[in-house]
Amino acid sequence: MRIELTKRPQHSVLFSALSPFIALALTMIAGGLLFAALGKNPFDALYYYFIDPLRETWSLHELAIKAAPLILIAVGLAVCFSSNNWNIGAEGQFVAGAVVGSIPPVLFPDFQMFLVLPLMLILGVAGGAAYGAIPAFLKVRFNTNEILTSLMLVYVAQLFNDWLVRGPWRNPEGFSFPGTVRFHEYAILPQIWPDSGRAHWGFIFALVAAVAAWFMMSKTLKGFEVKVLGQSPRAGRFAGFSSSRMVFFAFLVSGGLAGLAGISEVAGPIEHLNEKISIGYGFTAIIVAFLGRLNPLGIVAAGLVLALTYLGGEAAQISLGVSDKAARVFQGMLLFFVLATDTLIHYRIKLAMRSHASGGA
């Protein structure tokens, strides 16, 4: 038996709408089987994963905190990936944004006024964008593969940050432990609704970025340019678009948003810069971008779903003793199923009973 694909003349509207739900259902089934194999009640496990974290207000705030950097970074990556540029190093740009954005409260602690926070955010965006511009420059100027350079630069950024917070930027009153001074009050990103939980403005930035990116991609010439160059560089060149400029655009946008996510995380819940800020948001955001099918609005939903698996993973760990590895397996499966069901949008799938002479596996 083999599977044959036929390209649909137009992508299927039905499956565009259905495929995320099919994927979710398949993940639930596979996840249920996984939990059953681990000797846990699958319904309990799925309840703790997907329902329990949504029952209380504080937990919804936590969801927003966890989702904010994922959405911010993923929105930028969606633009970048749509233009057929592969920025895998958002994690490094996240760190760069956090470091550069932290300059005002760390180096000028006496400069305390309402301007500090906006300045930090701008510096954060600039830092991330500048760091993202390195692989872009190398790609345009030297034809270097951006997947690998952006990835290598992640480690460099992490180690640089590590050196900073253990060396020149270390809090002198911190008993030689790594980490800068605690930011002063003007350098802290306010909470949206402090009475009910600690979600901060980073989540608002994420929503604004998503809507802005959606508008750009679907309503403006720039968005058209991104997509044309992404699908067919040759056609794009005929249309008079520059693919070199597009490389920079893609990396500046994705780097800048990753930088904003970095400084929002540091000025938001963490309140100082330390060596542990980099916990893989930049990589997880790649999954979010694809879960949201590179659509900025889809990414908002995808970011929330993925954040939910983290929170749910903890709930399941406490209540059922499910290992934290299960959460990662779960995320991997979800992405696999989303990718697989997306095939339905563009292709008709037919099962042929008799193998062709040159069969697949």
Partner 1 sequence: MKKTLVTLMASAAIATMAVGAAKADTKACFIYVGPIGDFGWSYQHDQGRLAVEKELGVETAYLESVPEGADSERALERFARSGCDIIFTTSFGYMDATNKVAGKFKDVKFEHATGYKREHPNVSTYSSKFYEGRYVQGQIAAKLSTTGVAGYIASFPIPEVVRGINSFILGAQSINPDFKLKVVWVNTWFDPGKEADAAKALIDQGVDIITQHTDSTAPMQVAAERGIKAFGQASDMIQFGKETQLTSIIDDWAPYYVERVKAVMDGTWEQQDVWHGMDHGSVAMAPYTNMPDDVKALAEATQAKITAKEFEPFTGPITKQDGSEWLKEGEQADIGTLLGMNFYVMGVDDTLPQ
Partner 2 sequence: MGTLEAILLTIATAATPLLIAAIGELVVERSGVLNLGVEGLMVMGAVAGFGMAYLSGSAWVGVICAIIAGALFSLLFAFLVLTLVTNQVATGLALTLLGLGVSGMIGEAFIGLPGIRLEAISIPILSDIPLVGKLLFGQDPIFYISIVLTIVVMWFLFRTRAGLTLRAVGDSHGSAHALGISVMTVRYLAIMFGGACAGLAGAFLSLVYTPQWVENMTAGRGWIALALVVFASWRPLRVLAGAYLFGAITIVQLHIQAISLAELEFLPGVIFWLASLVKSIPSQFLSALPYLATVIVLVLISRNRRLTMMNTPASLGKPFVPSR
* Minimum gap (Å) between residue 8 Cβ and partner 2: 11
* Minimum gap (Å) between residue 120 Cβ and partner 2: 24
Q: Which is nearer to partner 2, 20 or 202 (CB)?
A: 20
Q: Where are the beta strands (DSSP E) in the chain?
A: 2-7, 347-352
* Minimum gap (Å) between residue 342 Cβ and partner 2: 7
**Residues 44, 142: Cα–Cα separation, whole Å:** 54
66: partner contacted, choices partner 1, partner 2, none (Cβ within 5-8 A by kind): partner 1
- At residue 290, what is the residue type? F
Q: Which is nearer to partner 2, 221 or 361 (CB)?
A: 361
Q: Is 156 left (phi over 0), alpha (psi -120 to 50) or beta?
A: alpha
**Residues 83, 136: Cα–Cα separation, whole Å:** 13
**Residues 257, 210: Cα–Cα separation, whole Å:** 10
Binding range to partner 2, per CB under 8 A, among 59-67, 121-129, 187-195, 318-326: 318-326
Quick note: the x/- pattern for partner 1 over 247-276, rule CB under 8 A, is ------------------x--xxxxx-x-x
First to last CA, the chain: 10
Contact 255, 132 (CB under 8 A): yes
Binding range to partner 2, per CB under 8 A, among 47-55, 231-239, 263-271, 353-361: 353-361
Q: Which is nearer to partner 1, 91 or 265 (CB)?
A: 265
b/e 188-220 (16+ beta carbons within 10 angstroms → b):
bbebbeeeebebbbbbebbbebbeebbebbeee
- At residue 284, what is the residue type? T
Q: Interface with partner 1 includes 44 (CB under 8 A)?
A: no
Site for partner 1 in 316-345 (CB under 8 A): 317-319, 323-324
Site for partner 2 in 260-289 (CB under 8 A): 283, 286-287
Residues that bind partner 1 (CB under 8 A): 56, 58-59, 62, 65-66, 159, 162, 166-167, 175-178, 182, 198, 265, 268-272, 274, 276-277, 279, 310-311, 314-315, 317-319, 323-324
